[in-house]
Amino acid sequence: MALETADLELAGLRLDIAGQVEADATAPAGSVATVTLSRPRRRNAMTPGMWRGLARIGGELPPQVRVVVITGEGPSFSAGIDLRLFSAEGAPGEETPPDPRSAGFDEWIAGCQAGYTWLRRPDIVSIAAVRGHAIGAGFQLALACDLRVLAEDAKLCMKEPALGLVPDLTGTKPLVDIVGLPRALEMCLTARTVDAAEAARLGLAEIVVPTSDLHAAVADLTAALLATDPATARATKRLLSLAPGHTLAEQAAAERRMQSELQTERLGPLPPR
């Protein structure tokens, strides 16, 4: 694969493309990619290099991958942006972010956001496996995933406003979509920490398990997702993703169209009469 392990390591990332899922030996080889944030001594603090590495993984993912698991090494999922980037010295080996008043700033953030947006692609289902803290950019990464499995010790926090920043790594839309505007406003402007039990109540976690069971819970979920036919899974994800922006009539029309497309793909076109 074009993705060099050494380059990913430099970005603080590890990529493992697994064969069979433990819980389901029938899953085709190579169908599960696990991306590990791997800077445990800094609680997986994130840098522009890491976001670009994530974007490269998304861009070069082998086509047989159907489930992507994002996880963190060590006790925290991620402590958010590497705070050294805000110091005069910066973070070693990292580009200095451009001046927010400069013309290139918008494009620069778009490049960082690209590390997040691919996780919503219809051909994959992404799962954030979160233990410990997911703060700021780390919480937004969990929000960028389709599903979240939390360990009981998980702690979610949108810290940016407390640091004089708006959250800008694609997290505001999924947060509002999931918890609603008033709760999102309250969480962001108080920058408070949401524990796993509350996250489950708010819909921010699909599953909460004891920390020692996190890996097994993700493997079970992955196996269940892979049991669905790939084309059906893809079409269903596309269909469901359209629903929030549609009226009932528009969504009903989308259901008809996608059913026809899916079955035509499966059966081939009608023979000529």
Select the residue interacting with ligand CAA from 13, 17, 21, 45 (CB under 6 A): 45
Residues 4-23 that bind ligand CAA (CB under 6 A): none
**Of 12-20, 141-149, 163-171, 195-203: span binding ligand CAA (CB under 6 A):** 163-171
Give the strand pairing for 147-151 and 125-130.
Answer: parallel
- Kindly state whether residue 160 participates in binding ligand CAA, applying the rule CB under 6 A: yes
Q: How far is the CB of 44 from ligand CAA (least distance, A)?
A: 8
**Of 8-16, 37-45, 195-203, 222-230: span binding ligand CAA (CB under 6 A):** 37-45
- Kindly state whether residue 133 participates in binding ligand CAA, applying the rule CB under 6 A: yes
For residue 202, what are its two tokens?
């708010």
Of 34 and 78, which has the nearer Cβ to ligand CAA?
A: 78
**Of 24-32, 162-170, 205-213, 219-227: span binding ligand CAA (CB under 6 A):** 162-170
Select the residue interacting with ligand CAA from 165, 185, 197, 253 (CB under 6 A): 165
Select the residue interacting with ligand CAA from 11, 17, 54, 79 (CB under 6 A): 79
Give the total of residues touching ligand CAA (CB under 6 A). Answer: 20
**Of 98-106, 128-136, 142-150, 217-225: span binding ligand CAA (CB under 6 A):** 128-136
Query: Going residue by residue from 189 to 228, which x/- string records binding to ligand CAA, judged by CB under 6 A?
Result: ----------------------------------------
Of 146 and 160, which has the nearer Cβ to ligand CAA?
A: 160
- Kindly state whether residue 82 participates in binding ligand CAA, applying the rule CB under 6 A: yes
Of 135 and 233, which has the nearer Cβ to ligand CAA?
A: 135
Burial class from Cβ neighbours inside 10 Å (0-12, 13-18, 19+) for residue 238 reads: middle
DSSP characters over the chain: --S-HHHHHHTTEEEEEESSBTTBTTSPTT-EEEEEE--GGGTT-B-HHHHHHHHHHHHT--TT--EEEEEESSS-SB--B-GGGGSSS--TT-PPPPPTTSTTHHHHHHHHHHHHHGGG-TT-EEEEEE-SEEETHHHHHHHHSSEEEEETT-EEE--GGGGT----SS-HHHHHHHH-HHHHHHHHHHTPEEEHHHHHHHTS-SEEE-GGGHHHHHHHHHHHHHTS-HHHHHHHHHHHHHGGGS-HHHHHHHHHHHHHHHHHHHH-SPPP-
- Kindly state whether residue 159 participates in binding ligand CAA, applying the rule CB under 6 A: yes
User: What residues have CB less than 8 Å from 238, skipping those under 6 apart?
Assistant: 122, 258
Contacting residues toward ligand CAA, per CB under 6 A: 42-43, 45, 75-76, 79-84, 133, 135-137, 159-160, 163, 165, 169
